[in-house]
Amino acid sequence: MRLDATDLRYITDEEFRVLQAAEMGSRNHEVVPTPLLAEISKLRGGNVAKLCGQLARRNLIARVANTRYDGYRLTYGGLDYLALKTFHKRKPPSVSGVGSKIGVGKESDIYLVQDGEGEKRVLKLHRLGRISFRAIKSKRDYLGKRASASWMYMSRLSAQKEFAFMKVLYDHGFPVPTPIDQSRHCVVMSLVDSQPLRAVMSVPDPAKLYGELMEMIMRFARASLIHGDFNEFNILIKRKTYEAVVIDFPQMVSTHHENAEYFFNRDVNCIRRFFRKRFRFEGTTWPVWADVVAEWDDHEKSLKAADAEGGSTAETEEKEEEKEVGTAASEEGAGVSKTEPSAAPAVKFETPALDVEEKDSEADDADEPQFLRLDLAVEASGFGRDMQRQLEDYMIEVQDIPNEDLSDEEEDDDDDDSDDDEGEEGKAPATEEAPEEAAAKLEKLRLHRLLGNDGDPDDEPPAPVSLYSEEEEEESDSGDSDDSVGPAPSDYTQYVRAPRAPRQRVNVSKVSKLGKVDELRETVAGEMARAARSQGPRTKGTSKVGRAKGHKWKSNASYQIGKDTGW
């Protein structure tokens, strides 16, 4: 739908109240009744009907025919006007004028706008539900736990998600447009002097641009995010510096998503395919999912090592502080006076050499990769705060599960031994399991619980319970002999009827050898004679159709079929 903001200046406040009432009523009604519009907007019924007619002529709302009641539904045009009205009411206003359309996608429209000071900006209108992209309910997780929702509500969720991703990425220094404002299904961002990568026919250094894009994919992965649609349509190239800027973030997923490896490899292959077709450039190296996993493993190991070193340094600092306190107390007891350091404050001088070292260290820190968990900050697809909380609860529950490897008898024996040997020393602590074995054990236990089983998955299955006593089983065993005829009498004996043999139909027209022409002619002649006999004239005893007993035409001679009739 095309955005026409010409009538926006002529919309009255009462008409906006009716539009807001239609938006609020759309939460529970596909077609909002007219009395409900009057109730929500707090206007008179006759006046509401008049205002609805005026809004319908501007295609801001639409009257739905063939319904049980008189009602209206909100259109994308009315939702656009409500969002633009919200942007204009900001202080300062985010949008004060709407320009021409500069882009269109399968789920959004891009317009050029300006703020109150005349600065140019970009307005993105999310319009889900188009014919070209109707599988969004199954391909995106906008709905969450909801079974269904309207396209306008999903457009609002898409805009909220994109603005959240853009804001957190901009705050952490990623090359994205500056997020400015968001309302309903609209997002306002800064205008970048660039063109999409699909429109770029040549670049000074394709290898350099290829390396920057691949490094950007890895940088997203280090922040626990995967773009999901990293291709030439969602990458902007600045006109002067040829630097890349990434756009379109609603489909971003977490690296903890179940299909994270598939999305990561798809982003990499999209860039490789485009550079091979457009610039005739084939990269010799490219990132793979194993690189992401390896980097995160190394990062976790370094964090554990740093925590261990931090604990040891903290203990040494505490001991030094205790020594200083002890020496100060002894000096005070001996009457030794100490000069106050405030009388002669120390002055620190910074030499140029130190400045150079500090700058080098800062540059090294900037070059080192930063590992972040931005998927938790924005609740990315596949892994949000709720899922993080559920995972922590599950880990606590798994840690509280007792070890059931020992049987009850062994536990009783251990209790008895512990009672007898109260004075003895306790047993040595058990050796810790390797992290890989512990992870495999947790995964096995999780699958065991998901299948509805209790206990430990390593336990042996219980022995089958016999339906008979031991004496009955012995009698049945002693009763078996070679002299017995027929099956042994038991409750499990079943007499199954033998299956009926299928009928064997002989095809008389089948010729064993096609070379025997005479035999083939005799067979065909016999079949034609048989068909002629079956369709021969009727005998005198048979009656015609019209004379048959019980026939509805038996008394009407005009309906009889024969040689003398007109038929």
Annotated catalytic sites, by residue?
Answer: 229
Query: Nearest CA to 295 among 190, 399, 208, 222?
Result: 222
What class has domain 90-191?
alpha beta
Give the mean pLDDT of 476-499: 46
CA 439 from chain centre, in angstroms, equals 24
| Whether 55 contacts 82, CB under 8 Å | no
The CATH superfamily holding the domain 194-306+369-398 is Transferase(Phosphotransferase) domain 1 (1.10.510.10)
- The per-residue pLDDT for 498 is 52
As a whole number of angstroms, the distance between CA 150 and CA 23 comes to: 12
User: Which one has a higher pLDDT value, 502 or 27?
Assistant: 27
Higher pLDDT, 530 or 62: 62
Which of 260, 236, 238 is closest to 248 using CA atoms?
Answer: 236
Q: Which residues pair with 63 in a beta bridge?
A: 72
Q: Tell whether the model's pLDDT for residue 360 goes beyond 90.
A: no
Neighbours of 509 (CB within 10 A): 9
Q: Evaluate if residue 353 carries a pLDDT over 50.
A: no
Q: 């997020």: which residue's tokens?
A: 179
Q: Do the Cβ atoms of 264 and 226 come closer than 8 Å?
A: yes
Please tell me the predicted confidence (pLDDT) of residue 356.
40
Between residues 5 and 358, which one has the greater pLDDT?
A: 5
Helix-strand-coil split of the chain, %, nearest 5 = 45, 10, 45
- The predicted-structure confidence for 121-180, as pLDDT tens digits, reads as follows 999 999 887 655 555 555 555 555 555 567 888 888 889 999 999 999 999 999 999 999
Tokens of 132: 């070209």
**pLDDT average, residue stretch 469-496:** 48
In the chain the first and final C-alpha atoms are separated, in Å, by: 65
Contact 157, 169 (CB under 8 A): no
pLDDT digits (tens, 9 = 90+) for 431-447: 445 667 777 777 777 76
Residue 327 in this model has a pLDDT that exceeds 70:
no
Beta bridge partners, 357, equal none
Q: Is 122 helix (H, G, I), strand (E, B) or coil?
A: strand
Lowest mean pLDDT among 180-194, 283-297, 314-328: 314-328
Closest Cα to residue 265, out of 218, 211, 322, 334? 218
Would residue 368 be called left, alpha or beta, if left means φ above 0 and alpha means ψ between -120 and 50 degrees? Answer: beta
d(CA 428, CA 433): 15
pLDDT of 336 above 70 = no
Contact, 488 vs 480, CB < 8 A? yes
Q: Reduce the secondary structure of 12-58 to three states and give it as a string.
A: CHHHHHHHHHHHHHCCCCCCEEHHHHHHHHCCCHHHHHHHHHHHHHC
Angle, alpha carbons 401-404-409 (nearest 5°): 140
User: 3-state class of 379 per DSSP?
Assistant: coil
Share of the chain above pLDDT 90, in %: 37
Strand 253-254 versus strand 71-74 pairing type: unpaired
Determine the 3-state secondary structure of 101 from DSSP.
strand
Q: What is the mean pLDDT of the segment spanning 199-228?
A: 94
Q: According to the model, what pLDDT value does residue 565 have?
A: 46
Stated length of the chain: 567
Indicate the domain borders of the chain: 6-84, 90-191, 194-306+369-398
Quick: pLDDT tens for 368-426. 678 888 888 887 655 455 555 655 565 566 554 444 443 444 445 555 555 555 444 44
For residues 253-276, give the mean pLDDT. 93
For residues 225 and 264, is the Cβ–Cβ distance under 8 A?
no
CB–CB of 158/128 below 8 Å?
Answer: yes
Q: Which CATH number fits domain 6-84: 1.10.10.10, 3.40.718.10, 3.60.70.12, 3.40.190.10?
A: 1.10.10.10
Greater confidence (115 vs 353) lies with 115
Tokens standing for residue 216: 């950007």
- For residue 352, the model assigns a pLDDT of 38
Q: What is the mean pLDDT of the chain?
A: 74
Q: What is the pLDDT of residues 12-59, one digit of tens each?
A: 999 999 999 999 998 888 899 989 999 999 987 678 989 999 999 999
Short-list 84, 80, 130, CA closest to 104: 130
What is d(CA 271, CA 263) in angstroms, rounded to the nearest whole number? 13
Structure tokens given for 326 = 């002890």
Comparing CA positions, the residue from 144, 373, 159, 153 lying closest to residue 249 is 159
CA 478 to chain centre: 65
Supply the pLDDT for residue 491.
41
pLDDT at 404: 44
DSSP lists the bridge partners of residue 74 as 61
DSSP result, 431-494: PPPPHHHHHHHHHHHHHHHHTT--S-TTSPPPPPPPSS-HHHHHHHHHH--TT--SSPP-TT--
Residue position matching structure tokens 């509401």: 48
How confident is the model at residue 121, as a pLDDT? 95
Confidence (pLDDT) at 354: 38
DSSP 509-543: T--S-TT-HHHHHHHHHHHHHHHHHHTSPPPTTS-
Q: How far apart are CA 296 and CA 299, in angstroms?
A: 5
Q: Is a pLDDT exceeding 50 seen at residue 339?
A: no
Say how far apart CA 306 and CA 507 lie, in whole Å: 87
Side chain identity at 31, as an amino acid letter? V
Question: Across-strand partners of 123?
Answer: 111, 188
DSSP-H helix ranges across 335-407? 352-367, 374-378, 385-400
Question: Which residues sit opposite 73 in a β-bridge?
Answer: 62
- State both tokens at 257: 């998503």
**pLDDT at res. 493:** 38
Q: Which two tokens stand for residue 331?
A: 């000096």
CA–CA dist 512, 528 (Å, integer): 20
> Which tens digits make up the pLDDT trace of 506-546?
454 444 455 566 777 888 888 888 888 877 665 555 555 55
